Amino acid sequence: MVDDQPKQEELKRVSGAINVPVLVVGRQVQTVISVEGYNRALDLAGYPPEGVARPRNQAAPPPEDPQTAAAKPPAEPPPQPRGPYAPR
């Protein structure tokens, strides 16, 4: 959302205007959004084409069920350092 003066100034610095939508990929700025323009910007920025890189799941892990979490035994504390230089 471009709803205050600092955001408007940043948008104008990046795209030259305060019109939306704006897509910035690398150094490419697209003000007319299209699939072809998006793919061209990704190519120019050096992103690998579709199918080259292995897909990743960037979604956060699902929240833990409170009943399952309560049933788990507490985690063991890490082992204490031993030896002549261990803190006392």
Radius of gyration of the chain (CA): 25
Question: Is 25 within the bounds of a domain?
Answer: yes
Whole-angstrom distance, CA of residue 9 vs CA of residue 32: 20
Whether 37 maps to a domain, the answer reads yes
64 or 45, higher pLDDT: 45
Which tokens sit at 5? 């003066």
Residue 44 or residue 58, greater confidence: 44
83 within domain boundaries: no
Say if pTM beats, i.e. exceeds, 0.85.
no
12, part of any domain: no
Is 80 a residue whose pLDDT tops 70?
A: yes
Residue 9 has pLDDT above 90, yes or no: yes
Q: Helices H, strands E: what count in the chain?
A: 3, 2
Residues 15-47: tens digit of each pLDDT: 888 888 888 888 888 888 899 988 888 888 888
The tally of domains found in the chain comes to 1
Whether residue 31 is contained in a domain is answered as: yes
Please indicate, yes or no, if residue 72 is contained in any of the structural domains. no
| Residue 68 lies inside a defined structural domain of this protein | no
Q: Can you say whether residue 18 is alpha, beta or left, with left for phi > 0 and alpha for psi between -120 and 50 degrees?
A: alpha
- Residue 28 forms part of a structural domain: yes
Domain encompassing residue 43: 21-50
